[in-house]
Amino acid sequence: MQLILLNEGPSTQLPLVLLHGWGHSSSIWRSWLEQAAPGRQVYGINLPGFGDEAQNAPQSLAHTLNALTALLPAACVLVGWSLGGMLACQLACSNKVKGLLSLAANPSFIARPHWPWAMAPEVFAQFQHNFAEDPAATVQRFSQLQTQGDANRKVRLAEIKSLAPALQPAAWAAALSWLAEVDNSALIPQLRQPQRHLFAEADSLVPATAASACPHSQVVPGGHLLPLGAQGAISQALHEIDHAITRKPRIARAFSQAAGHYDQHALLQQRLGAELIQQLTPAHQRILDIGCGTGFIARSLTHPAEVINLDLAWGMLKTLPQGSLKLQADAEHLPFASASFNAITANLALQWCDLPRVLSEAKRCLTPGGALVFNTLTEGTLSEIAQAWAEVDRFPHVNTFPSIEAILEQCRAAGFSQMQWQVARHRVVDDNLKSLLMSIKGIGAKNQQPGRFTGLTPRARLNAFNRAMQQHAWDGECWGVSYQVLTLYLQA
C-alpha cells in the first residue's frame, strides 16, 4: 500500500485521505474530486489487492490497520466509504486523525444482538460462499446491489464497471472477512474528533435505519454509491468538520485563558445557572453539566447528586475543587454510553456549538424521561455593541446568534417528547464603559466571526466607537448591554 496524491495543495486546510470500499479502488473518488474545492491536498490509499500492484498473500485486519496508520500524514481528515469507512473509524483512534467522515459505512456490517440494523449473518455467509465458488459472478451481482436506489442506475453501473480494479480473489476474500470482523458500534461514541456519518436512504447493503443508533449521522438521498451521487452532501459534511477542527480550539483557548477571573465577571451566568437548577429535582441523581465552566451548577445544586463536569476548556476544569468529577470533551461528541444520565444541563454554553448535534447527543445520553435543561443566547444579544460598531466600520465585532424560531425548530426536530421554553431579556450594566466591555471579554466570550478584524484597532476607530456607544448603550445613569436568553426544558 502507498499514499497516492490525488489532488495537489497547498491549502490552509488539513489534507484529506480517502479510503474506498470493497470491490473498488481510489478511482471511485474521481468524479467527486472533479467537483471538490480546488487547492486542497487529497490522498488516496488502495487497500491490499485493490490497486495496480499484485497482492500475493492476504493480509490480516490488524496488519492492514497498522500499515494504514503508518501511511497517514501527521495530521489529516479521513474520508471512508463502505468498508473504507469502517476501517477509517478504526484508524480514528490514532492522533493523526483530526476529523472523520464515513459514507454508507455501517458501524457493524452484519447484525449482532446489540446491533440489529445490519445484514443478517447468514446472508453475508452465503455471499462469502458465492464469492469463493465464483468470484467474478459474485462481484457482478454485488455491482447490481450497489446501484439499487440510484436515479441513474444504468449509467452508474457502467461507471463503476469502468472504474473497477482487476479481481484478485485471495486478497478480496480476506477483505470480505473484515466486513464481518469489524464492529465500531461501541467505538464511534467514544471518538473525540469531529465526525460525520452519512447513510443513504435507498441503500440495499447498509440499512438507513442504522443512522438512528449511530451518533453524528445524517440520511441523504440515493443508494450505496455515495461517492458518485452525493457530492454535495459530502462537501457540506467536510465543511462542518473543517469548521469544528479550526473553531473549537480557539474557543477552548479563550475560555481557558479566562478561567482565573471568570467568576468575578460571570454574574449573568450565575443568575441564569440558578434558574436552571430550579428545574432539577431529587429524581435527577446523575447529571451531566455541559460547558460547566468553574462548576457553578455542581457546587450550587440543592440536592445530593452525582454531577459530571464537562468542558472543552481544560483551564476551566482545572479550577474545580479536588475530587470533582470532570472531563474535557466536546459537547457534540459526548463520550458516554446511551442512557447514562437522567438530567443534562448547559448554562450559556450551547451557543458555541452545533446545536442539532448536541441535541442528538444529549437525547442519546438521557434515560427515558430524562431532562435536558439549558439556556442559550439568541438574536439581539449585544445589539448595542453591534449597532455602535456598524457606524464605525464594516467588520463583524460581535458574535451572531440564531433567532428564537430557528432554535425552537431545531429542538422540535430533535424528537424530544416534551418541550417547555421561555424568553427573557437581561441587561448588564456598569458605570464605566471600559469595565463593561472588559466584563464581556473576561468570561472568554471573544469574537469568533470569520471576518473579524484581527489587528490593533486604531485610536480613531475606538474613539468613534465610544461616541456611538453613547447613543446606543448609555441611559443617562449607566452603560448597559442586553442579552436575549432562551431557556428550554426538553424531556426525552
Residues annotated catalytic, as ranges: 82, 203, 224
**What are the distances in angstroms from CA 63 to CA 46, 55, 67, 491?**
15, 14, 6, 46
Contact 75, 48 (CB under 8 A): no
Distance (Å, whole) CA 165 – CA 176: 15
Q: 167 by DSSP, 3-state: which?
A: coil
Q: Which of 209, 82, 224, 227 is nearest to 150 (CA)?
A: 224
CB neighbours of residue 426 within 10 Å = 14
Q: Phi-psi category of 444—alpha, beta or left, where left has phi over 0 and alpha has psi -120 to 50? A: left
**What are the distances in angstroms from CA 263 to CA 95, 318, 428, 444, 452?**
34, 14, 15, 11, 27
Contact 323, 262 (CB under 8 A): no
Q: Which of 199, 239, 177, 223 is nearest to 37 (CA)?
A: 239
Sheet holding 217-220, edge to edge: 3-7, 42-45, 16-19, 76-81, 97-103, 195-200, 217-220
What amino acid occupies position 343?
A: A
Measure the CA angle with vertex 253, ends 248 and 254; round to 5°. 100
Which residues are 197's β-sheet partners?
102, 217
Q: 182 by DSSP, 3-state: which?
A: coil
C-alpha cell at 71: 501511511
Sheet holding 479-491, edge to edge: 326-328, 306-311, 286-290, 341-347, 366-377, 479-491, 418-430
Contact 378, 486 (CB under 8 A): yes
User: Cell 431532562 appears where?
Assistant: 371
Distance (Å, whole) CA 221 – CA 114: 27
Distance (Å, whole) CA 375 – CA 361: 17
